Amino acid sequence: MKANLFVLAGVAAVLVNACGFTPKEQAAGNFDYLEVKNDVQLQPAPGKQLPPVNKRYEVPQPTHNTPLGENVVVLAPKLVWPVANGSRVDEDETKTRVYFDELDGMNDVENFVWQGLLQGIETRGWNIVEQQEKQRLVIGWLPEEFEYGEDDTDVEIQRQFEITMNTAEHGRTTALLSTVLQREVNSGSEAIDELYLAHRDNDAAAQVLNTLVSEIAITQAKGVASVTDDGSVNIQAGFDEDGYASIIVSASFNFTWGVMQDVLNELGFEVDDYNQQTGRYYASYDAESTGNSLAFWRESNGARVALPSGDYEIKVTGDRQKTSVTLFRDGQAISPAQVSDIFAPFAAEIRNQSSL
């Protein structure tokens, strides 16, 4: 008899728990606060009058269309993580958005971020279905699978995402906004609450944005501070800190130093010695040697760069954002005209060796 009572009690407990199932995303508890009404109007005592009504402490009626009670999704939203240098999220931000501010050595933050987007999308193997240069692009379709409800129903969602870029008029700040453009849900016969789907859409938009910001951070970690319209490292002719004509690479010293030996070898220099501590390569160049290079910038006489034969000292100096490459021959820096002559092959080979 006692055994039967225990069995009945266990079955009853299971039934109660089943009837009381609440999805993890749904608020649970007492929602009596939704029924609270304003106090009735005060009545004066016999022979007395109430003072004039003062609305100073009157609580205004709420004007909102947000969920209340058990309709509130209680899962924490996925946050946007500004992990790239120069990125930030405003404290009062209500949308899935991240800002990028221009850093030292970054001469075009809009282009840098846009090229980072394209590179990140390509790296992830995502498909761009629409694109407006430096304004917006649409990514799709990306899948998500999860279990829903008391019966752990398998759900699959396919989404298209829109990434919108908005650059300030001064050009030193740009913003990326991520939203779900379209959604297709496959849940069989299981009905899924729209508020919960909206919550997962917001999380998915944040995940896509976080992934792309992380790819930009990876590019920065390599030491690249500025890129061209085709996504390669930005290289210009300029002057180093001593005023000598140089090749300026918009990348860190470590990044530039890491590719420079291969650059010199491909351009026909024979590196005899180097010292990273002082940022120096010591190399010889033979303008008569044709070598095995098939580079398009070979001079008509077989030389790879328009420089006379001899011994060269290549000075590489810079910081985390910008590096200069200066060539010396016989203790003298080569002239601005010579830098202009060798710029194209040097820039092309640096981009080739540092392909992102």
pLDDT mean values, one per 10 residues, the chain (356 residues): 49 47 64 68 82 75 67 75 87 91 79 86 89 91 84 87 93 93 87 84 92 83 60 81 89 83 90 90 83 44 73 88 89 91 88 71
How many CB atoms are closer than 10 A to CB 39? 6
pTM for the predicted model, two decimal places: 0.61
Residues 245 and 167 in one domain: no
Q: In the prediction, which pLDDT does 195 show?
A: 81
- Where is the domain boundary, 173, 189, 221? 221
Residues 79 and 179 in one domain: yes
Residues 309 and 345 in one domain: yes
Residues 318 and 217 in one domain: no
Number of domains in the chain: 2
Residues 182 and 248 in one domain: no
How many CB atoms are closer than 10 A to CB 14? 10
Q: In the prediction, which pLDDT does 292 show?
A: 45
Q: Where do runs of H (alpha helix) occur along 267-333? A: none
Measured CA to CA, the distance from residue 252 to residue 242 in angstroms comes to 18
Q: CATH no. for residue 329?
A: 3.30.310.170
Q: Report residue 173 CA to chain centroid gap.
A: 14
- Residue with structure tokens 């024979």? 270
Q: Which two tokens stand for residue 197?
A: 């789907």
Residues 266 and 325 in one domain: yes
Which is nearest to 137 in space by CA: 197, 225, 209, 82? 209
Sequence-separated (6 or more) residues with CB below 8 Å from residue 78: 202, 203, 206, 207, 210
Strands 245-249 and 323-329: antiparallel
Measured CA to CA, the distance from residue 89 to residue 13 in angstroms comes to 48
- Where is the domain boundary, 157, 186, 221? 221
Q: Tell me the angle at which helices 194-221 and 109-124 cross, rounded to the nearest 10 degrees.
A: 110
Measured CA to CA, the distance from residue 176 to residue 229 in angstroms comes to 18
Residues 304 and 177 in one domain: no
Sequence-separated (6 or more) residues with CB below 8 Å from residue 54: none
Residues 210 and 90 in one domain: yes
Domain that holds residue 270: 235-353
Residues for the chain: how many in total? 356
Q: In the prediction, which pLDDT does 120 show?
A: 86
- Where is the domain boundary, 177, 199, 221? 221
Instruction: Tell me, yes or no, whether 322 lies in a domain.
Output: yes
Q: CATH no. for residue 112?
A: 3.30.530.50
Residues 94 and 213 in one domain: yes
What proportions of the chain, in percent to the nearest 5, are helix, strand and coil?
A: 30, 30, 40
